[in-house]
Amino acid sequence: MSARTRVVCLAGATGTGKTAAAIGLARAFGGEVINVDSRQVYQSLPVLTAQPNDGERAACPHHLYGDTPLDQPVAAGDFAVRARACAADIAGRGRLPLFVGGTGLYFRAILGGLAPIPPVPAEVRAAVAADWDRLGPAAMHARLAERDPDYAAKIAPADRQRVTRALEVEAATGRVFSDWHRQGDPAAPDYDVISLGLALPLEELAHRLARRIEAMAAGGAVEEVRAALDRYPPDVPGLSGIGGPELTAYLSGRCGLGQAKSAWLTNTRAYAKRQRTWFRKEPDIVWFGPGDEAGLLDLVGKRLEGGA
């Protein structure tokens, strides 16, 4: 038997049904789910970030969901260390690690495609944060686009955490973020990876996302953001993901709830397109439509048995 740790990676854009598919795989093959979503790591926002609910978590073990305070930034490299340790523990117990999520950069870091980035000095981080506060998102994203156009094209201008992180790294190391992405991590585990993806036509996905946002807004997302704003300023990392700024604008009186939901949907659709573009460039992913559990189970079963 190969000494390499066998893992399943299940990727796809937001709203494509990864949670249900992951549970089906975990039940069939004795697996445990490891989060690979940069929003779902945060505490206090399970509805807003579409984290697995109590019933879904009861169906199989889930790891690295909702365990990070909202005011704590999460670097991809640091998260990869935690995710790899989690996978090692799962595999050591004779179970199958299932990496599941929609953050391509996290997948790349976990699988060794992102070199470890040295810590950024506090004074550099403070200087970049001050520039963001003084100049605003558009100017800071333009600065990033000038210095690192490849990475700037992958992130939204209003994504404070990612824009400032890239600028911090460039200022501290003299190398743009994209260079670190291309280098690779020599210390990465030698995984035997089964790469799966879920996708569907954009028009169908857009309808799904619209329904999901309505359900989130009615199901507690507004109250989650309100409670978070009682404890934290609106620009903390955990509130920077899509839905956070839009609901913050509503709760601060800058727009109505309908406008907030419309902006939330627009930004979510744009994000889903960026996710699709990222994952479509990954050559080893085998793609399935949502609900094709039989196809997923068949492929994984064959691969685990040593087949094609």
> By three-state DSSP, how is residue 83 classified?
helix
Would you say residue 187 has pLDDT above 60?
yes
For a pLDDT cut of 70, what percent of the chain falls above it? 98
The reported pLDDT for the residue numbered 117 is: 83
CATH annotation of 122-180: 1.10.20.140
Whether residue 59 is annotated as binding a ligand: the answer is: no
Whether residue 12 is annotated as binding a ligand: the answer is: yes
Amino acid identity, residue 37? D
Whether residue 68 is annotated as binding a ligand: the answer is: no
Whether residue 103 is annotated as binding a ligand: the answer is: no
Whether residue 15 is annotated as binding a ligand: the answer is: yes
Non-local (6+) Cβ contacts of 217 within 8 A are: 257, 261
Residue 166, token pair as written in the block: 């890239």
Structural domain boundaries in the chain = 6-114+184-304, 122-180
pTM, two decimal places: 0.85
The reported pLDDT for the residue numbered 132 is: 92
Looking at per-residue confidence, does 177 or 260 come out higher?
260
Whether residue 14 is annotated as binding a ligand: the answer is: yes
The reported pLDDT for the residue numbered 1 is: 36
Whether residue 154 is annotated as binding a ligand: the answer is: no
Its CATH architecture, for the domain 6-114+184-304, is: 3-Layer(aba) Sandwich (3.40)
> By three-state DSSP, how is residue 49 classified?
coil
Whether residue 113 is annotated as binding a ligand: the answer is: no
Q: Which of 135-139, 151-155, 160-164, 224-228 is most confident?
A: 224-228
Would you say residue 295 has pLDDT above 70?
yes
Q: How confident is the model at residue 206 (pLDDT cuts 50, 70, 90)?
A: very high
The reported pLDDT for the residue numbered 307 is: 53
DSSP secondary structure letter of residue 39: T
The reported pLDDT for the residue numbered 114 is: 77
Phi, psi of 35 (to 5 degrees): -65, 135
